[in-house]
Structure 1
């Protein structure tokens, strides 16, 4: 089997994990893959393997977005946890395992998508509708993985087909514009090939609406400032393109406003009308759920619980939700108790006053293993689509109005039990997005995309850093992360480190 070299992608020496009941998979070994792609059932399993690379995304967003932003103060008691240097804006991050995970697993997903696309044809999958769905899903997921990479690292190597290890040694990082060209091409193709909805048996798969919503976010991100670095923003002013796609999703898609905020994240209400696309997790088979609720929690809190939650959970220490975030909620905002656990008394009588994220936590659930929380993780919500529309209008997209912006924000506020507001500005919209999507991994990207990251972080850092751990101010080069050290050493001169690290 052709594959991206191990220095580009760390191939996991485990079976492919399933995403939900309908996305079951079987292991594919290197020895058998050359003879694997023989029929529709084989490609179904291979596509499920591409979805399988979404599994680490929730924890990644917590580590690299929430902890990097003003939402979380992540300094540990010892200062040696892998998230500490991310929180502290350290320059020596190239050897950080959390950053290497983002590189390796995204490229692993790209490799899997490329293997499907390279082998898919009418001889092995004769039914056109199914073949189109497979291609659309592979392209959608490849676009997602590359979009994730370009936002974390800027320039990355572009692989639009499976390559041999020898060939991979000759492929340098591509300019950000070229990475986006593949992302946009893939999403446009996915929009044409993917169905607008799926049967219950295929619940959780990408749809044409998910591709449109993601493409809108790509246009918004490309339109952000460049900061003078090779990062995700190109300053291309594609707000009109974003608005057109967002209006299509809002006006013609199957999504609806959900009036109860807590129900969006309920274990008993998954795949509700607010979900455009999410990562599907299931319970009952160890390793097929998510670790996120335990990972964002604190062991001492789980020790206070009685019931069916396996201990210990996956967290080793609390990462405190920032006081600044908690204080940003207005009194009686219904989202705060859904999002943050504020205070508890541990079994030894210690009173914990700090807060941690609880948005995806249900203490009444039966959790047999710490890897087995059966709650999906949203990647695109209808609320996000609505608020991206407001953002596009505020950024100057023609055809929108201030009244539309105000109406969208007031829908969000009304659901949170808050009074309406008027004349919403971009800063006000960002504040509302911060509270609405706290814990969902959007905050860092929101700040970068809108040009607010240095202003916000420079104001937040000296106030929140109680342990005096943060090593640097918000150097603009910290908009993106360094290239993992292992990628720099495999062939001298193939990659150059991102400036500032």
Structure 2
């Protein structure tokens, strides 16, 4: 049974559980009189509780594009994927309200005489300042650094953009403070020392690899910080990879009513009683919201159950659904519908529904029983997960060239052990790099460590699919051009009748011309509405074949600064390639 829901409550109001609600009623958050507040531990807690709304919600985690990037095809695409972004007049992420609230708190928390409480909540505030600026440098690169509250006439409002290196250096100071002063007791809903280590692991991996692949220099010390933060969390023994049964454990993580805190470091929590619910079932299974489906390239990336490469099989490109799903990494059948799939609460097997999945590879990750289909899901959603930290550790060490088999054994192996998959072998990966992955990542590091870097990218893509990481991964690896590639789905040899799961019953008819007489329980897809790459000769499903997707290597790694901001502050400069005046 769920108890205190800090995220939901923070969304509804600031400090509902406070002992001093009268102060908050008298002084709204934006108008607090500091001489009358920040005096007790409860007041520091109340104020910092509001910062949790900065964290992503379920929609951002599992659905929003471009977060899913090239993992997922839909019939509606974000402007980042289509290459149709324009310079906006305002907004677009260039907002600073949350930062002002954080700095306002830090300027006034010293009024509390309880030093232990002040250090704890200052640590939380500085965690959120680092988190805030992490988003800003990902979106914009260089941004102004502010660590104090500025009034309307303050000259600091009109400063130039500080370099990302200066901003990141200040972020490191903030996150190190949060680590040093965070509570050591585990909590799936509150910021702790361990959450701060997870954020440091994430932001240092991003920044270090971004600098490396974009030629910015000074990347090695940042990746060393990523590895150290990850290893500190690993060696603490506080978290572990959740295990139950190899065929269910991975899936169980994402359908749990309460976050499984042996592995979930921080989760967005949901509760029907508040009410605070999300719509994962609806967005994944409805025909109205893009009909999301896993892309063929990702399906191809899953290894065979014995650890060999699926893409080394001669006819892998023309395998049909039933055959290609046999003897694969068990995470595949715990992420999308595969033959024999039974929905939670149902005794009947279900094949993929082409009315709600454009590729045929239909997600089951996050999907609950049908009683939640109307948009009332309450399973908690991952924000920081121990699995990510393990992957961050392995990748940082691989990019530095210091990865050992012992490092793999304490990171990647744990994820594969969960699903009874063979361990990654460092020497074998580097002696025989996967040519399929080479074509997937044109800019990957060449040389002695190429093979294992590619394998870690494979592992990351599979383990973290639909958790909101993929777009940023492509940005930092300088692989944005992958977004130009067509979206492919299942392979079909052409028009005809298909028993998708080989249970002896007809499941799908692909036809031309007049609609055949419809049989109950059978799906009908007209060729042309369902597009095959070779037309009547068959091939992979092609999603949105008439929509041109573009990626501009000169500008699309950053978002444009809104023109209104450039007009208000003449010291600001636009990001390269974006128009200074709004087109």
Fold similarity call, TM over 0.5: yes
Q: Deviations over 1:35-69 (max 9, x none)?
A: 554543332221111112225475177435434x2
Aligned mates of 1:180, 1:351 — CA distance in 2: 40
Decide whether aligned partners of structure 1 residues 426 and 37 sit closer, same or farther in structure 2, where only a CA change above 3 A counts. same
Output the TM-score relative to the length of structure 2.
0.67
Q: Does 1:335 align with 2:331?
A: yes
Aligned to 2:462: 435
Match of 1:246 in 2: 230
Query: 3-state DSSP class of the match of 2:265?
Result: strand
Contact 1:20-1:281 within 8 A present in 2 as well: no
Q: In the alignment, is the contact (CA less than 8 A) between 1:222 and 1:234 conserved in 2? A: no
Matched, 1:41 2:45: no
Change (3 A) 1:495 1:366: same
Alignment of 1:182-201 (within 5 A): 182-197=170-185
In 2, Cα distance between the equivalents of 1:181 and 1:438? 30
**Alignment match of 1:496 (pick from 573, 580, 583):** 573
Distance 1:213 1:115 in 2: 25
Secondary structure in 2 aligned to 1:318? Answer: coil
Name stretches of at least 5 consecutive residues in structure 2 with no aligned partner. Answer: 1-8, 244-248, 304-324, 339-350, 430-451, 489-532, 534-541, 579-583
What is the CA distance between 1:417 and its match in structure 2? 4.3
- Match in the other structure for 2:511: none
User: For residue 408 of structure 1, what is the aligned residue in structure 2?
Assistant: 411
Partner of residue 444, structure 1: 471
Aligned to 2:500: none
For residues 350 and 46 of structure 1, what CA distance do their matches in structure 2 show? 43
Offset of 1:184 from its aligned partner? Answer: 0.5
The answer to whether the 8 Å contact 2:73/2:358 transfers is no
SS of structure 2 residue aligned to 1:340 = coil
What is the SS of the residue equivalent to 1:149? helix
Residue among 132, 144, 152 paired with 2:119: 132
CA positional deviation for 1:354:
3.4
Q: Distance in 2 between matches of 1:350 and 1:192?
A: 48
Counterpart selection for 1:165 from 144, 149, 152: 152
SS at match of 1:238: helix
1:298-319: per-residue Cα shift (whole Å, max 9, x none)? 433xxxxxxxxxxxxxx64334
SS of the counterpart of 1:278? strand
Equivalents in 2 of 1:39, 1:142: separation in Å? 22
When residues 319 and 482 of structure 1 are mapped into structure 2, their CA distance, relative to the original with a 3 A threshold, is farther
Match of 2:81 among 87, 91, 98: 87
CA 1:33–1:60 in structure 2 vs 1: closer, same or farther (change >3 Å)?
farther
Q: In 2, distance between residues paired with 1:350 and 1:216? A: 36
Aligned pairs, number: 447
1:468/1:492 CA distance change after superposition, 3 Å: farther
- Kept in 2, the 8 Å contact 1:488–1:497? The answer is yes
| Gap change, CA 1:242 and 1:230, over 3 Å in 2 | closer
Deviation at 1:197, TM superposition (A): 1.4
CA distance in 2, matches of 1:119, 1:249: 31
Task: Describe the SS at the equivalent of 2:227.
Answer: helix
**8 Å contact kept, 1:213–1:385:** yes
- RMSD of Structure 2 on Structure 1 (CA): 3.7
Q: Offset of 1:71 from its aligned partner? A: 1.0
Matched, 1:396 2:400: yes
Aligned twin of 1:52: 53
Rounded Cα–Cα distance in structure 2 between residues aligned with 1:381 and 1:15: 22
1:55–1:42 CA distance, 2 compared to 1 (3 A): farther
Query: Aligned to 2:169, which of 181, 191, 206?
Result: 181
SS at 1:380 equivalent: strand
Q: Does 1:279 align with 2:275?
A: no
Aligned to 1:483: 561
Q: Distance in 2 between matches of 1:350 and 1:295?
A: 10
Structure 2 equivalent of residue 145 of structure 1: 132
The answer to whether the 8 A contact 1:114-1:160 is kept is yes
Q: Answer whether contact 1:320 1:354 (CA < 8 A) is retained.
A: yes
- Is contact 1:274–1:383 with CA below 8 Å preserved after alignment? yes
Residue aligning to 2:369: 363
Contact 1:267/1:362 (<8 A) preserved:
no
> Is the contact made by 1:321 and 1:356 (CA closer than 8 Å) also made in structure 2?
yes
CA positional deviation for 1:327 = 3.4
Using the size of structure 1 for normalisation, the TM-score is 0.77
Which one of 380, 383, 396 corresponds to residue 376 of structure 1?
Answer: 380
Deviations for 1:10-53, whole angstroms, at most 9, x for unmatched residues? xxxx9843699979997763674225545433322211111122
1:104-123 matched pairs, under 5 angstroms: 104=95, 107-121=96-110, 123=111
Shift of 1:120: 0.3
The answer on whether the counterparts of 1:461 and 1:473 sit within 8 Å (CA) in structure 2 is no
Q: Give the whole-Å Cα distance in 2 for the aligned partners of 1:63 and 1:274.
A: 24
Write the distance in 2 (CA, Å) between the matches of 1:241 and 1:31. Answer: 36
